[in-house]
Structures are given as C-alpha cells and as structure tokens.
Amino acid sequence: MNILRVIASMDPYQGGPCQGIRNAIPELRKLGARNEVVCLDSPQATYLVKDEFLIHALGPRKGPWQYSAKLVPWLLANLGRFDAVVVHGLWLYHGYAVRKAVYLLKKRQKTRGESQNKIPRLYVMPHGMLDPYFQRAKERKLKAVRNWFYWKLVESHVVNEADGLLFTCEQELQLAREPFQPYSPRQVVNVGYGIADPPAFEQEMQQAFALQCPQLQGQPYLLFLSRIHEKKGVDLLLRAYAFIRTSKLKPKAEPVLISSTVDELVETMPVENNFPKLVIAGPGLETPYGHSIQELVNESPELHSSVFFPGMLTGEAKWGAFYGCEAFILPSHQENFGIAVVEALACGKPVLISDQVNIWKEIRNGKGGLVAKDTLDGAQQLLQEWQSLPDSSRESMGLKARETFEKCFAIRPAAHRFLSALKV
C-alpha cells in the first residue's frame, strides 16, 4: 500500500502530529506500506534531512492559514500514485487543498471519462483539534468564533466528505462529537497511537542530559517534558511545587487546600525535606508565557534553586532525562494523546497526569501512574500522593508503567490498526 501523509509542517518544534508520523512510518515499512510526506516547510529546513523517508517540502508557507500555491498542483500531479491520503490536523490550508484536489480529479474523471485514473481514499486525522476545550477555553474566545465560521465554510466539508476519521484514542473519538455541527463523518476509527521501544539505557544518555542541565548535579528530579505553554499547566505545577518546597510540617500529615498564588502560600502541606528537584524541559521559553514562567521561578529563592529549564531535549539527552527521573509529570488542561507521556511509560517511569490527558483512563486502569484534576489542587495532589508512596510502591508503579505501554501503546499493534482502517 502506498500512503501519502499531508501535514502543514514536519518541524519537531510543532510536537505531536509530525512526531507521530515519524514514529509510525518505520513500523509501517516493515508491514509493506510505503509512505511519503508532503508538507509546507521550506525545502531548506535543516530538520528535514534527518528523516529516512521521502518528504516533499513545498514551502515556505504564508500567513496564519499556512498557504502554499504549490500544493494543489502537486497533489493533482501525484495523488494517483497513492492508495490512501491522510490529512494530519485541521484548520489550515493543507486540508482545504487536499479536498479541492480530490474534487478536481473527480470532476476531470467525470468530464473526460478518465475512469482509469485512480483517486485515493481520503482520511483525516484530527490529532485532538476537534476537542471541545478549544471552543470553551476563556482565552480562546476569538479563535473559537473564527473556528465556528471556518467549520461552516470549509472544515465541515473536509471532515464529513472524507472516507473516514482516524483517532489516536477512544477519548478523542468521543470528544470530537461535541463542539461542531453538522458532524456526520462517514466512518470513525480509533486506530490508536504508538511509539517504538526507546533505545536501551546507556551511560552516554545520562552524560548528554547532564550537559544540558548541569545545575541538577545528579540530584533526584521530576520531569516535565513538553511545550512551555499555558495549556500544559506549567504555572499550576510551579505553584503546587513551590507550596510543597516551602512547607515545614512533618511528612504524611493530612493535606489541606492551598492558595492560588505563590505569594499566598501557607506552611500547611505535608512533605519530606528531600523532595526531588523539578526539570521543566521543552520549547517555548522564548514566548511571553515562557518568560512569565521563568520570572516566577527567578523571583522565588526556593524555586530558583530547585527548578531547572534545560530547553528542548532531543536524542540521547531526551532519553537520559526520561531514564534518570523519578517520575514524569504533566498537569495539562488538554492533551490529545501525549507522546511524551507514553515515552515515559516505555522507559518504565510512572506518570503523574491530569484527567485532561486523553489516555488517562488507560493509565489509571493499568496502574502506571497517578491521575488528578487539571487544577492547582489537582497538581498538589499529584505531588503529595507521589511523595507519600513508599519506595516499593513507586517501584511497582514503574513496572506497571512499562506493562501499560506494552499493552496499550506499542507501535506494532498501532501500525496494524492503522493499515486495517485504510484498507476498509
């Protein structure tokens, strides 16, 4: 089977969708499926040369819609080579362009009698972009109105006329039904999402991470690894962490509710004096939100000596961060899947997440981590519960984390489900 992936950008900085493509293609190749990618990045983008599959870069894209005049002509000339085309993500030009190209090919086929020319089946993979969070979040009111109009004019046709919608988990599939009407896709399939087994731990990984986070000096730490963005709940994590670090009471006392700001923290939280450091890794430190997070840490003497920002981690440094942490933490307000969460599970690390990470049920059922609300109290609860666990329970949770990965998120079963959906 020949598959074309269409995506706005393959920039690793963009996170989830492009990383999912990179995770899946090697395993699909083993199953006999050939994949090509067309994107709207600049052909000179340095990150494109690292991939071992064919990428057609037609950018640079222009404007917020990420438009490229080259895309439709390229699709018209090349779609016939493929059995299926998968549009990754919504709300941007590439989805509109694929629908337009398919429409033009069908029209050409009808008017010229070119029935021998193959038109591939069209699938859309929303990657969480139909999550109702994006229409309900207070800070997104204008974008929500924009999306409503765009849905009526363009996106509803892309979604409802496709041969099927492909979802990364059951929770995503269910939530996609809520925000927009008319929503009547021809087929919906939970194909899941998977990652390959991480490379086995090597000492070089630890050394690579130590070079990017020298302040840690071998001390125990919790790891946040994701974009530095308001949606990820970084501010909640820091406030809850600050509360715990400044507590003086004896460990394992009864917890109490906490204040909503660092300045109003009270010394009422049970905590051990040797609470681990906190590493916040990922892109976005240069954004206004990233600056505000760093200022929050710099203004607090306790946080300044306990929270570290190594930036975006890749390769050996990333795996060194995963293998070296006590646990992974992500109190996100919305997370479609969370590839980093699954990478932590694959490394045998417990994950401390909010119930807005769409794979939270699989993790709770597998006992591979802790789950709480995406609130300040919820972030406090995650930290407190983790610290109260005896070493034997933490070790057991790490084993369960790996088992959860193998049962729910391994790449080979996900690749089989993906191919089965495209062959229907």
The secondary structure of 227-250 as a DSSP string is ---GGGTHHHHHHHHHHHHT--SP
What is d(CA 121, CA 362) in angstroms, rounded to the nearest whole number?
31
> Does 203-409 carry CATH code 3.40.50.2000?
yes
Q: If we measure between CA atoms, which residue out of 14, 11, 16 comes closest to residue 359?
A: 16
For 2-190, CATH gives 3.40.50.2000
Domain ranges of the chain: 2-190, 203-409
What is d(CA 289, CA 139) in angstroms, rounded to the nearest whole number?
13
pLDDT at position 99 is 97
pLDDT at position 302 is 79
Residue-wise pLDDT tens digits, 293-328:
999 999 988 799 999 999 999 999 999 999 999 999
Residues in CB range of 384: below 8 A, 6 or more apart: 244, 255, 269, 270, 271
Quick one: how many helices (H) and strands (E) in the chain? 17, 13
What is d(CA 54, CA 137) in angstroms, rounded to the nearest whole number?
38
pLDDT at position 280 is 98
CA 181: distance to chain centroid?
Answer: 26
Give pLDDT < 50 ranges for the chain: 248-272
Residue 267 DSSP label:
S
- Mean pLDDT estimate for the chain: 91
2-190 and 203-409 in the same fold:
yes
What is d(CA 348, CA 322) in angstroms, rounded to the nearest whole number?
9
pLDDT at position 371 is 98
pTM: 0.85
Take residue 61 and report the two structure tokens written for it.
Answer: 């894209």
pLDDT at position 256 is 38
Residue-wise pLDDT tens digits, 346-402:
999 999 999 999 999 999 999 999 999 999 999 999 999 999 999 999 999 999 999
What is d(CA 150, CA 92) in angstroms, rounded to the nearest whole number?
10
